Amino acid sequence: MRFEVSQEFYFDAAHTLERKIEAVGSRRVHGHTYHARAVVFGSPDPATGMVVDLGQLRQCLQAVREQLDHHLLDEVPGLGAPTMENLCLFIARKLHETDFPVHAVEVWRQAGGDRCRLELSTEDRLAGL
């Protein structure tokens, strides 16, 4: 028996982006409201009945949120180009640093309908992402 447990958060942030389409607007500093979800798969611990303690997951995600919320993403150490792909990877790496067994991370901008999902294989998790 395998369960999926997830926790969502949001953050507001600004960024610039070099790209070929919509280039002028993307190069200017602009902002979005981002939503993110971290997903953990597993079987419940027999002692606790939980796959993960959601309180601990929320605490870890709050620490990640503080690094992104109301920041210029171009300046966030370890993020790289402020793409949704890199945001997914950044969040997954931060959770991995706290030994959270994250299996997927999703980032989306609801207003624009944009969404990105990173699914981590066992090899990804063992290799440290």
Residue type, 17: L
Strand 114-119 vs strand 3-15: parallel, antiparallel, or unpaired?
unpaired
Q: How many residues does the chain have?
A: 129
**Which H helix or E strand runs over 7?**
strand 3-15
* CA 126/CA 129 separation, integer angstroms: 7
Please give the share of the chain, as a percent, with pLDDT higher than 70. 91
Q: Where are the alpha helices (DSSP H) in the chain?
A: 23-27, 54-68, 84-97, 122-126
d(CA 46, CA 44): 6
What's the predicted TM-score (pTM) here? 0.90
> C-alpha angle with apex 129: 71 to 110, nearest 5 degrees?
45
Note the pLDDT of residue 101.
85
What domains lie within the chain, and their CATH numbers?
A: 3-126 (3.30.479.10)
Tens of pLDDT along 52-111? Answer: 999 999 999 999 999 999 999 999 999 999 999 999 999 999 999 988 889 999 999 998
- The confidence score (pLDDT) of residue 29 equals 85
